[in-house]
Structure 1
Amino acid sequence: MKLIAWNVNGLRAAIRHDFMTTFKNLDADIFCIGETKLQPGQIKVDLPGYHQYWNYADKKGYSGTAIFTKQEPLHVTNGLGVDELDHEGRTITLEYDNYYVIVSYTPNSQPKLKRLAFKRAYNRAFLNYINQLKTNKSVIFCGDLNVAHQPIDLKNDATNHHNPGFSDEEREDFTELLNNGFIDTFRFLHPDEVKYSWWSYRSHAREHNAGWRIDYFVVSNDLKDQIKSADILTDIYGSDHCPVMLELK
């Protein structure tokens, strides 16, 4: 099974930058999208052979997620079931016979960490949510988690310490999540590889590969032996993020 996750930073813009060709070439069984920046009815995407599921933010032109899947799920859930966290279209869960697939576009803590409290509330609720799910079935979740976990996961770790996405609190939240029985699949297979998934549009950051690894596939520990490959597709353009990929046996 091949899964792709991509923060497209606006799906309409990504489509203008050849999203459809990339989508077809990747031929994923499940394709998860972050930051669609859409409202209902703003776009119609023709994806033969795929079921489409969307979650929209209340605020126009902001956040939003989608999942395109070849296999119809048993059940679809939008949000985490926490009203104060569920107005930004950040999560979709698909339930299948033996596993759940979740896309999460985790909040950005913002300059001066002004939204850190909201992000940490989301992190706690998300961890509670996936812990409940994994008592029933295996869990696969993915997306832009807006955190670089370790110094290896960003170009300039020293100068970015305490900045959004590399604060001690955000990194500790991700460590706690992994300690609850989950695996960062890319780092599991590539413990020492330096590879990034996001680059600022400023200062030719992508050209100089001054990036961050903030996009992930994470699985529950019971899927450890099913991890076939995990990669970051840095040769694909069309957003300030590139897609990440997971293949399970």
Structure 2
Amino acid sequence: MKLMSWNVNGLRALLTKMNFNSYLEEENVDIFCLQEIKLQDGQIKLEPEGYHVYWNYAEKKGYSGTAIFTKKEPLAVTYGLGIKEHDQEGRLITLEFENMYVITVYTPNAKRGLERIDYRMDWEDAFLSYIKALDVKKPVVLCGDLNVAHQEIDLKNPKANRKNAGFSDQERERFSQMLEEGFIDTFRYLHPDQEGAYSWWSYRMNARAKNVGWRLDYFIVSERLKKQIRGAKICNEVMGSDHCPVELTIDL
């Protein structure tokens, strides 16, 4: 099974830069998850042949939002965490299948000066509780922009960013806690020492060409699935967003 995840930083803008339907067909993806679609219902028509499509829009126009394209129809679809304060920005979709849950998530950014760090920590607590509850029932495959570079190897300039959003001690500790609770970072599981593996680059200072980036986009799976992981890839050659797609191949 092949899954992909991409923070598109505005799906309407992306569609002016590439033929998404053709890309989906070329990659032959079983499940493709998107974050930061920045859409409202009815603003685009995107119905790739052979896929079931699910959208979760933010209440605020032009902001956040997620989507999933799946070849196999799920047993059930859930939007959000079921907590009102966390479910206004379209950040989460969960698909239930016979043998697993698939989740796409766009984790809130702590923002400049960590002004939203308290909300981010509340989100982290609620989200961890949510995925742990699912994991009791079936294995979880989780993907998306988690808005954190976990270790120093996961960004170009760790020392300069130590207290910045995405590399604060608080955010990194919560990521570690998630792994300690029985989940696997699939890319680091297969590539523990690979440097320069980033999925986001600033638009400033020619950062992408210089590969001055951060690894913010992940596939996380329940630990009991680790022997079924076949491949984890960062598709940094794919343009169209300030993020690139990430990919997981798993035997399910």
Is the structural similarity TM-score above 0.5?
A: yes
What is the distance in 1 between the residues matched to 2:24 and 2:49?
12
**Residue 241 of structure 1: aligned partner:** 243
Q: Quick check: 1:142 aligned with 2:143?
A: yes
Match of 1:215 in 2: 217
Task: Out of 41-50 and 15-24, give the one that drifted further.
Answer: 15-24
Q: Is the 8 A contact 2:66 2:90 kept in 1?
A: yes
Once the two structures are TM-superposed, the CA of residue 203 in structure 1 deviates from its matched residue by 0.3
SS in 1 for 2:88: coil
Structure 2 gap segments, 5+ residues each: none
Letter in 2 for 1:215: D
Contact 1:74 1:96 in 2 (8 A): yes
**Structure 1 partner of 2:115:** 114
Paired position in structure 2 for 1:179: 180
Alignment correspondent of 1:12: 12
| 1:64–1:88 Cα contact (<8 Å) kept | yes
Q: Distance in 2 between matches of 1:16 and 1:23?
A: 16
Residues 184 and 216 of structure 1 are in contact (CA less than 8 Å); yes or no, is this contact kept in structure 2? yes
Give me the CA root mean square deviation. 0.7
Q: Deviations over 1:203-249 (max 9, x none)?
A: 00001000000000000011011100001001100000000000001
| Contact in 2 for aligned 1:100/1:138 (Cα 8 Å) | yes
Aligned residues: 249
Structure 1 unpaired stretches of 5+: none
SS of corresponding position for 1:127: helix
CA drift of 1:19 comes to 4.4
> What TM-score do the two structures reach when normalised by structure 2?
0.98
1:90-109, aligned counterparts within 5 Å? 90-109=91-110
1: distance between equivalents of 2:142 and 2:3? 10
* Fraction of identical pairs, as percent: 59
Report if the CA contact (8 A) 1:19-1:238 is conserved: no
What secondary structure, in the 3-state scheme, does the structure 2 residue paired with 1:58 have?
Answer: coil
Q: State whether residues 47 and 53 of structure 2, in contact with CA within 8 Å, keep that contact through their aligned partners in structure 1.
A: no
Amino acid in structure 2 at the alignment position of 1:149: H
- Letter of the aligned partner of 2:15 in structure 1? I
